[in-house]
Amino acid sequence: MTRTILLTGASGTLGRMLAPRLARKGYALRLSDITAFPDPLPEGSTFVPADLRDEAAVRELMQGTHQIVHLGGISVEKPFRPVLDANILGLIHLFEAARQDRQRIVFASSNHAIGFYERGEKLSVRDPMRPDGYYGLSKAYGELLARMMFDKHGLESVHMRIGTCIPQPTEARHLSTWLSHDDLERLVIAALEAESPGHAIVWGVSANRQSWWGEDDAARIGYVPQDDAERFAPLPEEGDAVTRRFQGGSFTAQDYTKGDAEP
């Protein structure tokens, strides 16, 4: 039986890139976003508009799907209220609907859940989260919500702590954080196909020689990145002193009032 995958945030940059790739792999896709899908629909795909803030709409959206790739919500730093509505309230609606049918969620978490670690520190996914703004805070919340959902209800989820997913790196920070489009595809498919991932957290990063991110649950789901940003080196440093100090880059510098960027 062909599984139907719900892809939220389908009209965003990563959704538009990922949808045709998943369709070519044979997945039946139900694409959804608050705005229309701007490209021709991939073969075997349908599009259903939905606002994640609407609990009834989310429940209806998930009728007949089998797994969810959740890219929806706000993807940049914003004031708390819009982040709360889209990334926290919307996520609650999605997880509550998913647990009714035991639909696995592949969640686009973010490196901004740990953005206030110093550059050069080698991190494990077991290290405490240090979000660099309300956006990163919402991603940390998503990982914790999913932990509770697994412990309490057995709902499986895979959390991709996505770094910088662009066609190629353009600045020095990206030599550590880059996730190629091909590796994102590999990561999503591994997360969908893993036999028993439980509650898994995986660095959404390519096999970069200068990566700051180490131990995670990649082996549990069979994710093996193949690309390396090093082939684009050297690249220039960008941003102010705060941006250059922390792993979260420019997100850490937004509304930063602590003072000197030094420890």
pTM: 0.96
- pLDDT higher than threshold 90 for residue 262: no
Q: Once rounded to an integer, what is the mean pLDDT over residues 96-124? A: 97
DSSP summary character for residue 130: -
- pLDDT higher than threshold 80 for residue 1: no
- What are the domain boundaries of the chain? 4-253
Residues whose CB falls within 8 Å of the CB of residue 246, separated by 6 or more in sequence, listed in order: 115, 116, 117, 118, 119, 132, 252
pLDDT for the residue numbered 3: 86
Reduce the secondary structure of 81-117 to three states and give it as a string.
HHHHHHHHHHHHHHHHHHHHHCCEEEEEEEHHHCCCC
User: Distance (Å, rounded) from C-alpha 169 to C-alpha 21?
Assistant: 21
Q: In the beta sheet, which residues pair with residue 4?
A: 28
Give the pLDDT confidence of 37-94 residue by residue, as tens digits: 999 999 999 999 999 999 999 999 999 999 999 999 999 999 999 999 999 999 999 9
- Mean predicted lDDT score pLDDT of the chain: 96
Burial of 229: CB neighbours in 10 Å, binned 0-12, 13-18, 19+? buried
User: Distance (Å, rounded) from C-alpha 16 to C-alpha 39?
Assistant: 8
CATH of the domain spanning 4-253, picked from 3.40.50.720, 3.40.50.300, 3.40.920.10, 3.40.640.10? 3.40.50.720
- pLDDT higher than threshold 60 for residue 263: no
Query: Choosing from 117, 135, 141, 223, which is the catalytic residue?
Result: 135
Amino acid identity at 227: D
Give the pLDDT confidence of 171-224 residue by residue, as tens digits: 999 999 999 999 999 999 999 999 999 999 999 999 999 999 999 999 999 999
- Told to judge if 135 belongs to the known catalytic residues of this protein, a careful annotator would answer yes
